């Protein structure tokens, strides 16, 4: 019974030595916040660029090609479909994570601005109400003074 279940179990992904190395490079680049991630989804192109380390990665998803470029060399190779899809999954996840951070930051800024505006309006209304009360009080006092 157990041997039949093993047939349906997903086999762990086994990459070649070079694929492991490339996956490691790309993963490390993604961890660094100074690495830019640009995407041309219509063209199926994904770009990683780290100017500090003078390193660029271009992933052509339609052709399963990954190009690594540094200051001295540029190497482009065609890789296994599953490997390239795994690399793209990591890139897309990091891009999504960064977009969420930006979204959260913008949302927090908007909420803080709205709160400041709300507080300013409340203060302004309170000042107007105090001025109206003073005006009403002075008018009542003037009427009393004039009637005497």
Question: pLDDT tens digit string along 94-129?
Answer: 999 999 988 888 998 999 999 999 888 888 888 887
pLDDT digits 0-9 by tens, 79-88: 999 999 999 9
How crowded is the C-beta side of 31, counted as CA atoms within 13 Å? Answer: 6
pLDDT class of 5 with cuts at 50, 70, 90: low
Q: How far is CA 128 from CA 123, 124, 132, 133, 134, in A?
A: 9, 6, 6, 9, 10
| 84 touches 66 (CB < 8 A) | yes
Q: Where does the pLDDT of residue 143 fall: very low under 50, low under 70, confident under 90, or very high at 90 and above?
A: low
Residue 105 exposure: Cα atoms within 13 Å on the Cβ side:
6
Mean pLDDT of the chain: 85
pLDDT of amino acid 1: 47
Q: How far apart are the C-alpha atoms of 22 and 48, rounded to whole Å?
A: 13
> Which pLDDT score is estimated for 46?
96
Which helix (H) or strand (E) is 144 found in, with range? helix 81-147
- Is the pTM above the cut of 0.75? no
Nearest to 31 by CA among 103, 97, 86: 97
At 35-55, the pLDDT tens digits run 999 999 889 999 999 999 899
Residue 56: CA count within 13 A, CB half-sphere: 15
Tokens encoding 24? 């490691």
């Amino acid at each position: 019974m157990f041997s039949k279940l093993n047939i349906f179990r997903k086999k762990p992904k086994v990459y070649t030595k070079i694929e492991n190395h490339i996956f490691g490079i790309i993963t490390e680049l993604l961890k660094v916040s100074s690495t830019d991630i640009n995407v041309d989804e219509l063209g199926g192109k994904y770009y990683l660029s780290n100017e500090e380390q003078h390193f660029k990665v271009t992933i052509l998803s339609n052709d399963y090609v990954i190009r690594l470029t540094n200051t001295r060399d540029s190497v482009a190779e065609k890789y296994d479909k599953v490997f390239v899809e795994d690399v793209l999954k990591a890139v897309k996840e990091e891009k999504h994570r960064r977009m969420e951070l930006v979204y959260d930051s913008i949302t927090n800024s908007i909420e803080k601005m709205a709160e400041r505006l709300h507080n300013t309006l409340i203060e302004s209304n309170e000042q107007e109400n105090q001025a109206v009360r003073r005006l009403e009080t002075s008018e009542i006092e003037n009427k009393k003074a004039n009637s005497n």
